[in-house]
Amino acid sequence: MNLCSLSRIRKLGTLVLFFGMSLSCFAQDALQTVVAEKGDGILSLLRKQGVDPYANYDNFIAMNVDNLRDSVHLYAGRTYRIPPADLDTVTVVDSIQRKTSEFKKIESREIPILGKKHSTVIIKSKRLAGTVYYLVSGHGGPDPGAMAKYGGKTIAEDEYAYDITLRLARELISHGAMVYVIIRDENDGIRDERILEIDHDEVAYLKKAIPLNQVKRLKQRVDIVNGLYERHRGMYQRLIVTHVDSRSVGQNIDVFFYHHEKSKNGKKLAESIHNTFQKNYKKYQPNRVYSGTFADRTSLYMVKKTHPAMTFIEVGNIRNKKDQNRILVPENREALAKWISEGVLLDYEGK
């Protein structure tokens, strides 16, 4: 071996050693810890650390699950591990050919309806590639749906159903699904506040004004969904309708699901999501009995008239204090969306 070759090997060894040390130091430096303060939630904590709260939400829970209340709530004064920030690309040196190559590339999509702060959706997988999902949040436009008081302010069903629907859309898109958000508010997007301000500017898909009359309003949604269903005939298609119930103040209810009595696929979808909620309650709230149900209810207009297999979800009683906590806390709305999406994946992959 000549001196020139020996020199090259020494330089290559130094480069590899340096690169390895750099990665090691990066991994050590990137793993941060932070003490949660009173009022912190997972989303706000990650955002304060300069980390995308939605791209890293699952990682944070996985890293800290034994230190969380009900899997989604922080304890003030406790220390939490923060996932390292994602890099778009990491360039490595090809020491022989002196070329660069991509070590990791994160695929993403821009979805404007999710809002300026949340429009970038990181694609986690292609598990739902080739599927079509229609998401309909209850009420909207001139009809706010069920209403209640919280902290002296009025809260409305349509705002919370819409926020959960957008979070669900984000999850489904992140797994490769084609998603139609049927009721839309171009100004709102995903919101991380407890009190979601009420407005009346929601429209139906393709900017159609929402009728005040209930039957006309529901027929409009059915016609839109069924029209899109015909356009995508032959593809795997499902419909998910999200509402917030209104009952007596003292009635605490769990999330429950309806389906068409004659739809085997609709029943399977509802059952898959229901089973996911049961599993997660057993895992994260073992001392609490989950009483949510799934059942046929063909009397509901959207259940009876729409063509895709579907489930109709009620996420809680807007007038009950415990259920209000489920929908007002943004981490809870995020968990609801993620658990529904887990059920959707279970349904599709078990088809």
pLDDT in tens, the chain (351 residues): 444 444 444 444 444 433 343 433 434 445 689 999 988 989 889 888 888 887 788 888 888 988 888 777 899 999 999 988 653 333 333 333 333 344 346 799 999 999 999 999 999 999 999 999 999 999 999 999 999 999 999 999 999 999 999 999 999 999 999 999 999 999 999 999 999 999 999 999 999 999 999 999 999 999 999 999 999 999 999 999 999 999 999 999 999 999 999 999 999 999 999 999 999 999 888 888 899 999 999 999 999 999 999 999 999 999 999 999 999 999 999 999 999 999 999 999 996
Considering the four listed CATH numbers 1.10.3470.10, 3.40.50.2000, 3.30.1180.10, 3.40.630.40, the one that applies to the domain covering 108-349 is 3.40.630.40
Rounded distance, CA 63 to CA 57, Å?
Answer: 10
| pLDDT at residue 287, as a whole number | 85
- State residue 85's pLDDT score: 64
- Using the 8-state DSSP alphabet, how is residue 187 labeled? T
Q: Where in the chain is the domain with CATH 3.40.630.40?
A: 108-349
What pLDDT is recorded for position 88?
36
**pLDDT in the model for residue 55:** 79
Tokens linked to 333: 């709305």
Residue listed under structure tokens 């699901």: 257
CA distance 249 to 247: 6
- Answer yes or no: are the C-beta atoms of 86 and 135 closer than 8 Å: no
Report the distance separating Cα 49 and Cα 31, nearest Å: 12
Q: What are phi and psi of 160, to 5 degrees?
A: -80, -40
Which residue type occupies 21?
Answer: M
How far are the Cα atoms of 180, 203, 247 from residue 206, in angstroms, in the given order? 11, 8, 33
